[in-house]
Amino acid sequence: MLKPKVKQAINDQINAEIWSAYMYLSMSTYFTTQGLTGFANWMRIQWQEEISHAMKFFDYMVERGEQPILMPIAAVPNKWKSALNVMQETLKHEQKVTALVNNIMDVAIEEKDHATKSMLQWFIDEQVEEEANAQAIIDDLKLVDGNGHGMLLLDRELKTRVFVDATKTAE
């Protein structure tokens, strides 16, 4: 059994992870309409990752004898100014998710919930990677400055990304 504050924080995070997945799927659609199928692929992989993150939290609650309460998902953005704008919003969002995960860790520490602290360490490490990946693409986009050849190469590179469910290899 989870203490009420930990249970609520994790349940809220499930909703946040699913919202993130919806946002990345929306971003994928935006990139598809812009003819940037590699960027669209990268975002679709992000969508899959966020769903797997939600399920890791979901499964953890079930394993601890709790029933996750699924809440409505708020609308997500669907318009952006440019590829750079999308990636800047991605980084900003990942920083928000990092803060949410850190908050759950603070609650787990406060509640002396060592099992939850152990589970959360994977997410803390994952968020460092998520922010670094978004920043790397932002840096690349700034380097090519919208240049057709540079954008073409970057789009091709992002097309090669494949989904690997890191939540399963972490168990």
- The CB-based long-range contact list for 107-115 (8 Å cut-off, 24+ gap) reads 107/5, 107/6, 107/9, 108/6, 110/5, 111/3, 111/5, 111/6, 113/2, 113/3, 113/6, 115/64
pTM above 0.75, yes or no: yes
At residue 147, the pLDDT reads 78
Show pLDDT as tens, one digit a residue, over the chain (171 residues). Answer: 899 999 999 999 999 999 999 999 999 999 999 999 999 999 999 999 999 999 999 999 999 999 999 999 999 999 999 999 999 999 999 999 999 999 999 999 999 999 999 999 999 999 999 999 999 999 999 999 877 889 999 999 999 989 999 888 655
Domains and CATH numbers, the chain: 4-166 (1.20.1260.10)
Angle, alpha carbons 99-54-120 (nearest 5°): 50
